[in-house]
Chains A and B, each alone.
Chain A
Amino acid sequence: MTDASDTDPGYALAPDGSFTAPLTLAYPYSRTVGPTYGRFLTGLAEGRFVATVGSDGRVFVPPAEFDPTTGQALDQWVDIAAEGTVESWSWQPEPSDAQPLDHPFAWVLVRLDGADTALLHVCDVPDPGAMETGMRVRARFVDGADPGMGALECFEPIGDDAGNDGGDRS
Chain B
Amino acid sequence: MGAERCAVVGVGQTKHDSCRADVSIAGLVREAADRALAAAGMVMDDIDAVVIGKAPDMLEGVMMPELWLAEALAAAGKPVFRVHTAGSVGGSTAIVAAQHVMAGIHKRVLTIAFEKQSDGNAMWALSVPMPFSMPVHAGAGGYFAPHVRSYIKRSGAPTHIGAMVAVKDRTNACANPYAHLHEPDWTLERAMESPMLWDPIRFVETCPSSDGAAALVLVSEDVADSMDVPKAWVHATSMRSEPTMFAGRNQVSPQAGRDCAADLWRKAGITDPASQVDVAEIYVPFSWFEPMWLENLGFAELNTGWRMVEDGVTDLRGGSLPINPSGGVLSSNPIGASGMLRFGEAAMQVMGVAGDHQVDGARTAVGHAYGGGSQFFAMWVVGAEKL
Contact = CB atoms under 8 A, between A and B. Distances in A.
Interface of A: 9, 11, 21-23, 25, 27-37, 64-73
Interface in B76-116: 76, 116
Contacts of B121: 27-28
A71 B119 contact: no
Residue among A9, A28, A30, A71 facing the most chain B CB atoms (10 A cut-off): A71
Contacts of A22: 131
Given A21-B131, A34-B26, A71-B44, A66 B71 contact: yes
B24 A65 contact: yes
A31 B76 contact: no
A14 to B, nearest CB: 15
Contacts of A37: 24
Contacts of B185: none
Interface in B123-157: 125, 128-132
A32 B128 contact: no
Contacts of B45: 70
B255 interface: no
Nearest to B71: A66
Interface of B: 19-27, 30, 44-45, 58, 60-61, 71-76, 116, 118-121, 125, 128-132
30 contacts: A21-B131, A22-B131, A23-B128, A27-B58, A29-B60, A29-B61, A29-B119, A29-B120, A30-B120, A32-B19, A32-B23, A32-B25, A32-B119, A33-B24, A34-B22, A34-B25, A34-B26, A34-B27, A35-B23, A65-B26, A66-B26, A66-B30, A66-B71, A68-B76, A69-B76, A70-B44, A70-B74, A71-B72, A71-B74, A71-B76
A155 B48 CA distance: 43
Contacts of B22: 34-35
Nearest to A23: B131
Contacts of B60: 29
Given A66-B74, A68-B76, A30 B129 contact: no
A31 B71 contact: no
Contacts of A69: 76
Contacts of A67: 71
Contacts of B75: 71
Contacts of A36: 24, 27
A72 B128 CA distance: 39
A73 B24 contact: no
Given A27-B125, A32-B23, A37-B24, A65 B71 contact: yes
A35 B119 contact: no
Nearest to B69: A66
A69 B116 CA distance: 25
B20 A32 contact: yes
B351 to A, nearest CB: 26
Nearest to B128: A25
**Which 9 pairs between the two chains have the least Cβ-Cβ distance?**
A71-B74, A34-B24, A21-B131, A29-B61, A66-B71, A34-B27, A66-B72, A71-B44, A29-B120
B119 A34 contact: no
A55 B130 CA distance: 48
B26 A30 contact: no
Contacts of A65: 24, 26-27, 71-72
A148 B129 CA distance: 34
A66 to B, nearest CB: 4
Residue among A22, A72, A73 facing the most chain B CB atoms (10 A cut-off): A73
Contacts of A35: 22-24, 27
Nearest to A10: B131
Given A21-B131, A37-B24, A65-B27, A32 B71 contact: no
Contacts of A71: 44, 71-76
B23 A34 contact: yes
Contacts of A34: 22-27
A65 to B, nearest CB: 6
A65 B75 CA distance: 14
Given A65-B71, A66-B72, A68-B71, A32 B118 contact: yes
Contacts of A66: 26, 30, 71-72, 74
A36 B28 CA distance: 13
A72 B58 CA distance: 29
Contacts of B30: 66, 73
A23 B132 CA distance: 11
Nearest to A20: B131
B241 to A, nearest CB: 24
Contacts of A29: 60-61, 119-120
A29 B132 CA distance: 27
Nearest to A37: B24
Nearest to A31: B119
A135 B302 CA distance: 77
A29 B120 CA distance: 5
A23 B129 CA distance: 7
